[in-house]
Each structure stands twice: as C-alpha cells, then as structure tokens.
Chain A
Amino acid sequence: MIQIKDLEKFYKTEEVQTIALNKLSFDVKEGEFVAIMGPSGCGKSTLLNILGLLDDPDGGSFMFNGTEVAGYNERKRSELRKHNIGFVFQSFNLIDELTVFENVELPLIYTGVKPAERKKQVEAVLEKMQIMHRRNHFPQQLSGGQQQRVAVARAVVNKPKLILADEPTGNLDSTNGNEVMDLLIDLNEAGTTIIMVTHSEHDAKYSHRIIRMLDGQKVTENILA
C-alpha cells in the first residue's frame, strides 16, 4: 500500500538546518498495523504528516497504492486524503464549536455524502464507538477517553483504507488508553491499515511490526506477528 524510498525532510530556521527525515525507506502492506517509535525529535511525527499528505517531502519517493504522490499539489492531496486517510491525534483535535455528531459528520460533508446517508453512517459509527448517548454534547463536556473515541469515530466514518494515529493514548489514562487501542485493533482486524506513532511500548505491542527511528533514520524493525 505504501512504499517510501529515500524520503527526506529538512527544517530550516535562520541559523540552522535540521534534518528531520534522512533517506528513510520502508513499505507498509495493506491490512498491516505498524507502530513507529523513537525518541522525541527523531522524525516520527514528520513522517506521519508526510504519510498523511499534510506535509511535502523534500526528497525521495512516496508511492501510495502504486501511485507516486510526493509531488501532488494541495488540491490532489486533499482529494486523496479525504477518501483514503483518517487521522487520530494525541490531543484529539475536535472542533469545540461542533457537537459530537457534527464533528464526526464533518469528513462526510467534505466527501459530499447526502444528509440522510450521513446521519446513518455517523450514527452507526457512534454506536460502534459506544458514544451515541453523547451525540449532542460538545467536546468540552466529555472526558478525555470519550473525546478520543469521538476522534477515532471521525477518523473512521469515511471508511478510510489507512488510519494514521499520532500517540493516540498520549493524553489518556491506562483504562481509556486500552479502550482506544482495542478500537484500533478492531478496525485493523476489519481490514484497515494502521500506522501509529507512539512512545508507549505497551501500545506498540498491539501492532504487527515496530519500526524504531533515530535522527530521521530507521534503526531497527521488529516483526511481532
């Protein structure tokens, strides 16, 4: 599904140039659950942003489903993103002004799904995430675990092929964290490819494969299952 080769990313400030990704290469197959680990500043999040087409690489190749997407413009990227990729963030990133239902509905609006169909799909996913009873609440009225469940619901409502999770349990206690991980496992078992950046060895064990990074490069790769 994903092939990256010699991927590079630099950050420039006035004085220095930092290498965030240094000729990074690896593949992810469809249906895989990959965890990416490494110390802060090793380039994990940068990688995730590039994989999510939120950011552009400065060099190398990025094939998504057999197509080179590294040079895509903003319009093409957003088109590809909204149909294929779901995001789960550490800080949930829900829109405060929208209710649970409306937050989850948002990706469907962007993909042009009709209102009646949207309602059906959103309710289905809220049921699945067990937060249907909170559908009319605003994010600030929910606990952290509930907010992350909404975020996951929003990430999957479009039935994306790929879910990118950036420390999805980072802001949660262990009980809520485990619940979120169980959700991700369920999704993966249903066929969704998941790439998760995490600091947590515990969470990483849920994955099929752990890629460890340092200074923008892959240092080891452990296959768990």
Chain B
Amino acid sequence: MLKNYFKIAFRNLIKNKVYSFINISGLAVGMAATIMIGLWVTDELNFNNHFKDKGSIAQVFQSQTMNANVNTSPAVPRPLEFALRQDHTDNFKHIVMSSWEQPRYLKFGETNIYITGNAMQEGATAMLDLDIISGVKDGLKEKNSIMLSESAAKSLFGNETALGKIVKVNNEDDLIVSSVYKDIPTNNSFSDMEYIIPWKHYVTTQPWLELSKDAWGNNSFQLFVQINENTTMDVVTSKISDVKKNASSETAQFNPQLFLLPMKDWYLRSEFENGVQSGGRIENVWLFGIIGLFILLLACINFVNLSTARSEKRATEVGIRKSIGSQRSQLIFQFLSESFLIVFLSFIVALGLVLLFLNGFNNLASKAIVFPWENLQFWLISLAFVIITAFLAGSYPAIYLSSFNPVAVLKGTFKSGRYSSLPRKILVVAQFTVSVALIIGTLVVMNQIQFSKDRPVGYDKEGLIQIPVMSNEFIGKKDVMRNQFIASGGALEMTGTSGPMTNVWSNRSGYTWDGKPADFQEDLAYTSVSYEFVETLGLKVTAGRGFSREFASDSNAVLLNETAVKYMGLIDPIGKFIRDSDTEDPSPPLKIVGVVEDMIIQSPYSPVKQAMYVFDSEDNTAFYNVRLNPEKSTSENLALIEGVFKKNFPNTPFDYQFVDEEYGAKFESEERVASLARVFTVLAIFISCLGLFGLASFVAEQRTKEIGVRKVLGASISQLWLLLSKDFITLVVIALLIASPLAYYIMGQWLQKFSYRTTVSWDVFAIACFGALIITLIIVSFQAIKAATSNPVKALRTE
C-alpha cells in the first residue's frame, strides 16, 4: 500500500514540475534555515558543557544599592574568601579566588608571546577538571610555578618539553612550568585562559594586592565556587547573602547582597536589572528560535496552499479510490505519506544547503559550528523534525482532500466551494504579515545601530592606538616614551591612562565635596591619566583647562566630565575640591581644574557615566594612548612607534589596538543580530514570494478560459492584468495593515532596553510596505501578463 502511495506521489512530483519545485525549494530553504538556527541554538545552549561539574560550579556575585539603584556585579572583595572558608566551608567543595583575565608577556629564550590568563587558587584545576597532559595535577601549589595551555606551551617551546622550563613573565618574574593542560574548547568560559599563575604569587606582586586583604570595599576580584553535593545553589545563597554586610560596617550602607550565579547561567542569563536576573543572550536564543519556527511555517503554508489550490486535480483520484473501497483514513494516510516524501526530499536538499552555507553562517554568527555527522541525537531529532514538518504541511491538505464526495467527483460536478479559497487567503495574509513584520524589525535594528554609531563619542577615536603597558618595567618611562614617539615622527601626542578608553576598569566612592547631600552614595568611573590627556584624545574642555606641566599643583588635580558635574550637583566646579571621606588616613584632596565633554567609554546605548579623570601621580599607567601622525600613513606611523618601543623594551613584544576598532566591537552583538535577522528576513520573503508565485500561476491557469472569453469580448491586457492581480494585492495590503502595528509595538518594546535609542519612524513602514507591494506586483504581474497575452483561441480550446 505504502509503495503504491509513494509511487503516485513520486509520479505527481515529476508530472507537476513547477509545483514540485516551489514546494521542495520552499521547504528546503525553510528547513535549512531552521536547521541552521537549530544548530546555533544548540551551540548557545551547550555553552560550558565542557565542564562536567557545570551543575555545581558557580560564581559569587553581589548586588549593591547606591542612591536606590541596585548594581549587580561579579566583582567581589578579597576578605570574602576568608569569611567563606572560615564560616561556610562545609557548603563548598572548592573555593577559588581569581584575578580578572589579563594579558601577560611570557618569554622563553628568544620566544616572546603575549597571552591572556588568570591568577587562581589551587582548587581551580580540580574544579574546572583541567585535562593535564603533562606535569602535576595541581600545578598551582608552588608559588613560583605556572600552568600553560597546550597551545601556549607549543608557541613558547615548540616541540620541546615544557615541563620544568623557566618562563619570564612580564619581564619580571621567573616561573617554572608545573603542568600543561589541554586547551579549553571555544564555546566555554575560560577558553581564552592560556596560562594560570598561582594566586599566592599574584597577591605578592603589587602593594595594592597586599592591602586588599582586609579591604571589604575593594571589589577587584572574582570568586568561583563548587558547592557540595548535598546542597543547592539557593540554599548556599541564602546562607552567604549577608556575609559582607555583616562583616563590614563601612560597606553595609550599600546593602551588599551576595548570591551564587550558576555556571549554566553565566553565558545566557548574565544580565541584571535592579538586582533581578533579567536575561541576556537567552533572549536572542528565543528570538531566533521563533524566527526559525516562523520560516518553517511559511514554507509549510506554501505546501498547504498549493496542495489545496490544486485539489480539483486530485479529486478524481479521491473519488475512484473511495469507490473501490478506500476508507477516508487510508486517504488521509496516503496524502500524509505524500507530504512526508516531499518533506523528506526537501530535507535532503536542506542538508545540502546547510553544508554549503555553514561556513558563511559561522562567519556571520561568530561561531565555529561543525555539522554533527556523528551525533545520533541530531539524526533522531532530524527524523522527528521531518515527521513534524510533514504533519504540519500535510495535515490540512490531507483532511481537505480526503473529504471529497466521490459521487460529485466522479460525476464531474465537483467544484470547490465558494469559500474554499478562504483558508488559502488567510494563510497568504499570515505569510506576508510575518515577512513584513520581519522587514520592519530588521530595519529598526539596523536603524538603532546606526543611530548609536552616529552618537558623538566625545573624543577623536580615529588615528588613535592604545599600547598595553601593564608590567612593572614600564614604570617611570612614560615621559621618555612620549618624547621619543613624538620625535620619531610617528606620533603627534601621547598620554598614559590606568584603563582603556573603551571601558571603565575602576569605580570609586568614598568622596566628599562642598554641597554633597547627606545620604548621597556616589559611584564614579575612575581613571588616572597623565599630562596631554585632553590633547591626545581631542577632548573638548567646557570649563577650566586640562592638566598642565606648568602647574606643579596638578599632581593632585582632577578633571570631571559634564555628567559628573551634574551628578554631584556642582555649580561652578572649577577650583573646588573633592576630598577623601576617610578621616583617619585621607588621600590629599583633588582640585577640580577642568570639565570635559562626556566621552562614551562604556555602552553606546546607555547614558554616559559620571567620570573623574584623576592626575596620575603614581604612574599607574596601563595604556599608552598614542595619537598617530595624520601626515603619514598608518603603517609608517606604526613602524616608527614599534621602532621606538623595541629600542626601549627589546624583550617585550609590541602589541597595540586601534581605539576605533575597540569601540566598534561594542556594536558586535547587535550587528550580529542585525545580520542574522537580515538573512532570515530575506529567506522569509523568498519563501513567501515563492508561494505567491505558485498561487498566481495556479489562478492564471484556472482562469484560462475566463481570460480567453474576456479577451474575445474585448478586454484589454491591462484590464486582465488588474483582474488577476487585484486579489493578491488586496491580501498583501491586509497583511501590511496587520504587520505594521504589530511590528511597531514589538520593536517599540525592544528599543526600550536601550536608554539611547532611535524611534520607530514612519519611513521604516514606508520602505517595508512599498517593498512588499512592489515584490507582490512583480510576481503576480509576471503570471497575469503571461495569461493576459496568451492566444485566446488556444485558451478556449482547452475545454
């Protein structure tokens, strides 16, 4: 029986090539898009799956309340570790303090590499279950040791054994390689961690680290834990939430609440709004999951529409089969098996498309997805996917076709009812509603990105590079380097800063100033900067002046941005002082010498944070910011600067970043969403148009005789074109009317998450509507004009 069904299905496919092509190509494109989205979603959901203890590993976060705003951050103070070890150790299998991921220079012989890694406590290797290739299991036990990833060891030692070799780190410390671990695969936290140095080594390298031991207010560290098997994240959270609050009266005013963020949430649900977990990347997973489903539905709609539209052609067969004893259920099964065959063929084509475009998709989505040939689960899900799609596409046609009355069909009196095309019309409207809504959505996302890109950044980011100088060998060399850079002709100016110009590395509180409200809890972005800060960055000074070598008192001076002036409630701020609120051992007061225009340092979508730029009298320089010479080419400038750098630091590799590129990276996530949305919108439009083309050609074919008669009676081509086109245009106009308010509402909601946002403007709707109508007209007119210009005699003879 099944063989018979497939035979008929196959012969129908061959016989009706155009319809088969529309059905299979539409379904294949839809399925390919859904498979790719499925692979992407799986990849996102599998983040951190490398860690076998994913379920019990967590990071300690804290929420602090400042001026009624709750800020949540993974940065915690160092004494927290001691408190947890002392009072709560029975909850944890591992407690691991860690630095932030930091790049360091590693040198062996003549080989010099610049790689990122962390300083971590001993439990790290067991907690992360690092796969040790050589050396001891816990390579962080000895203070002067270093653990290297396999690829780091390879770049440093080539094929030689790494174990026991002495590596010079940041040109300061000699550390012995204690073990080599297998690289942590991408799509996991710590995948960039190419080295680990022992925590006990790290905390003795700089004086401030030593001081941090008792400083509950110094939130400069990360704390990872693995909880015991007999407890849960929530239970542990409830036990530790007030540890900091109870331990330090100084920070209690901010009501610090500690909690565990499970490893499974690090990647997908790491955003917090007012202290409450509010999502993160999981929103994109949902977004694209839904888009994938919609695209598949669009393709299924084509199948439904074309199958039911052509029902009269299948009616006789239904009548015959019924008359010789077929039950309705058998006919339903037959039509379902036909849709299964078509869906299966489409799936094969879809797999081909996925293989063909997977690389491009990976580039677009910044992924490294590999086609899961050997994954049984993938094939089982694919089978289910084919069956579900076959049901989705085939159910309605099967029920509809099998319902025909054999008597009417066999007597030749069968005609589709007056309203039989209504479901098709509704489905076409649904298709175009989705397509137009996607067009509008994509345009709004693109507009928002452009709007934020056009936002003035407050400084001149073009022709500016930053050179990381975080090791001690650079201390005291700033002025020498500046002079030499300028003298080389490769630079116009240079300034040193304690953080990059594209991020805030430090936030401070604990200040007081004249007129500060009593309960005000300040939170200021803090960067220490050197002379020529204003000149190098091209900042606009709106009051006062920048730092100057002519004023010796500038060693205790500060610049504020405009937001900080407003935030602190300062009127006429120049000459006023910001004082340390610590009364026992206060730092010298800082004199406000200038106010600069706001610079966007953090998110281009958020308001600029209140910031203070304090003159760096202790040389805490982390970056040299160098303004390149505009009279020379970039490569010439870089060669000159590198020459100077190499002359002064021959053992340190020259590393630099373009500030405008670093700034551009802030748009990466949204741009990725936009480019994926663009691709899927194009696919949705393609599938919808394919369906429209099929229906238009069906209608033209069905009305061949009518067109012939009308032509004989004198109808012009334009009248016939209008006759055939107007129904479809009406459907698309209805879709536009539904899609526009829907997209307006959804995109309005989406924009709410950006403080700095564009509006959903009328031109977006105009473009989407105009585009949809033009496409419809082209597709429908093609068929209409073809029918209208055909020979009427031929048309009438078709009877």
The answer, yes or no, to whether A124 is at the interface (CB within 8 Å) is no
Number of interface residues of A (CB under 8 A): 29
Interface-forming stretch among B131-139, B407-415, B559-567? B407-415
B407: which A residues are within 8 A, CB to CB? 49, 54-55
| Listed stretches A89-97, A141-149, A207-215; interface member | A89-97
Given contacts A55-B407, A91-B412, contact A98 B8 (CB under 8 A): yes
A109-B1 CB under 8 A given contacts A75-B327, A78-B325, A81-B323: yes
State how many angstroms separate the Cβ of B399 from the closest Cβ of chain A.
Answer: 14
A154 at interface by CB-CB < 8 Å: yes
Q: Mark B388-412, 1 if CB is under 8 A from A, else 0.
A: 0000000000000000001100111
Q: How far is it, in angstroms, between the C-alpha of A91 and the C-alpha of B323 when the chains are bound?
A: 14
Q: Count how many chain B residues have C-beta atoms less than 8 Å from C-beta atoms of the other chain.
A: 25
A181 sits at the interface (CB 8 A)? no
Interface assignment of B317: CB less than 8 Å from any CB of chain A: yes
A89 contacts across to B, CB distance below 8 A: 410
Confirm or deny: B316 has a beta carbon within 8 angstroms of a beta carbon on chain A: yes
A74: which of B8, B328, B410 is its contact (CB, 8 Å)? B328
Query: How far apart sit A111 and B324, CA to CA, in the bound complex (Å)?
Result: 10
B324→A106 contact, CB < 8 A: yes
The residues of A that contact B328 with a CB separation of less than 8 Å are 74
Q: Is chain B's interface secondary structure helix, strand, loop, or mixed overall?
A: helix
CB of B637, distance to nearest CB on chain A (Å)? 74
B325 touching A81 by the CB < 8 A rule?
A: yes
CA distance A95 to B412 in the complex (A): 15
Q: Which of A45, A91, A110 contacts B326 (CB 8 A)?
A: A110
Kindly list chain A residues whose C-beta atoms are within 8 Å of the C-beta of B410: 54, 89, 91, 93
- Can you list 30 contacts pairing A with B, beta carbon distance less than 8 Å? A45-B411, A54-B322, A54-B410, A55-B407, A74-B327, A78-B322, A78-B327, A79-B327, A81-B323, A81-B324, A82-B324, A82-B326, A83-B325, A86-B324, A93-B316, A93-B320, A93-B323, A95-B321, A97-B8, A97-B15, A98-B11, A106-B321, A106-B324, A107-B324, A107-B325, A109-B4, A110-B1, A110-B326, A110-B330, A111-B325
Cβ–Cβ < 8 Å partners of A78 in chain B: 322, 325-327
- List chain B residues, Cβ under 8 A from A86: 324
Q: Which B1-33 residues sit within 8 Å CB-CB of chain A?
A: 1, 4, 7-8, 11-12, 15
Q: Write the A169-190 contact mask toward B (1 if CB under 8 angstroms, else 0).
A: 0000000000000000000000
Whether B15 contacts A106 by the Cβ 8 Å rule is: no
B323-A52 in contact (CB<8A): yes
- Is A123 an interface residue when CB atoms closer than 8 A count as contact? no
- Least CB distance from B316 to A in Å reads 6
In the bound complex, how far is the Cα of B407 from the Cα of A52, in angstroms?
10
Q: In the complex the two chains form, what is the Cα distance from A97 to B15 in whole Å?
A: 9
A91 contact set on B, CB distance < 8 A: 410, 412
Q: How distant is the Cα of A54 from the Cα of B404 in the complex, in angstroms?
A: 11
**A-contact 0/1 string along B180-213, CB 8 Å cutoff:** 0000000000000000000000000000000000
Q: Is A33 an interface residue (CB 8 A)?
A: no
Interface mask (A6-36 → B, CB under 8 Å = 1, otherwise 0): 0000000000000000000000000000000
A87 at the interface (CB under 8 A from B): yes
Asked if B327 contacts A106 (CB within 8 A), the reply is no
Do B320 and A95 touch across chains, with their CB atoms under 8 A apart? yes
73-128 of chain A: CB within 8 A of chain B = 74-75, 78-79, 81-83, 86-87, 89, 91, 93-95, 97-98, 102, 105-107, 109-111
- Which single member of A82, A97, A102 contacts B325 (CB below 8 Å)? A82
In this assembly, does B319 line the interface, its C-beta being within 8 Å of a C-beta of chain A?
yes
4 smallest beta-carbon distances between A and B, as pairs: A82-B325, A97-B11, A110-B325, A107-B324
Q: With a CB–CB cut-off of 8 A, which chain A residues contact B406?
A: 54
Most buried by A among B12, B325, B407: B325
A188 and B410 alpha carbons, distance in the complex (Å): 25
Q: Is the CB of B4 within 8 A of A97?
A: no
A40 to B448, CA, bound (A): 72
Known: A91-B412, A109-B1, A110-B330. A98 touches B7 (CB 8 A): yes
Q: Is the CB of B317 within 8 A of A110?
A: no
Chain A residues whose C-beta falls within 8 Å of the C-beta of B15 in the assembled complex: 97
Cα distance, A109 to B3, chains bound together (Å): 10
Tell me the chain B residues, 297-351 only, with Cβ under 8 Å from chain A: 316-317, 319-328, 330
How long is the Cα–Cα vector from A78 to B7 in the complex, in angstroms?
23
Contact yes or no, B323 A154, CB < 8 A: no
Please report the C-alpha to C-alpha distance between residue A110 and residue B320 in the assembled complex, in whole angstroms: 12
Asked whether B317 lies within 8 Å of A95 as measured between CB atoms, the reply is yes
- Min Cβ gap B235→A in Å is 60
Nearest chain A CB to B175 CB, angstrom units: 78
Is there an interface contact between B12 and A97, defined as CB atoms closer than 8 Å?
yes
In the bound assembly, the distance between CA atoms of A93 and B15 in angstroms comes to 19
Q: How far is the CA of A94 from the CA of B4 in the complex (A)?
A: 15
Please give, as numbers and ranges, the residues of chain B lying within 8 Å of A55 by CB-CB distance. Answer: 407
CB-based nearest B residue for A82: B325
CB-nearest residue of chain B to A52: B323
Q: Whole-angstrom distance between the alpha carbons of A95 and B411 in the complex?
A: 15
Q: For the A-B complex with A86-B324, A110-B330 known, give 17 more contacts whose Cβ atoms are closer than 8 Å.
A: A45-B411, A54-B406, A75-B327, A81-B325, A87-B323, A91-B410, A93-B410, A95-B8, A95-B316, A97-B15, A98-B4, A106-B321, A107-B324, A110-B321, A110-B324, A110-B325, A154-B324
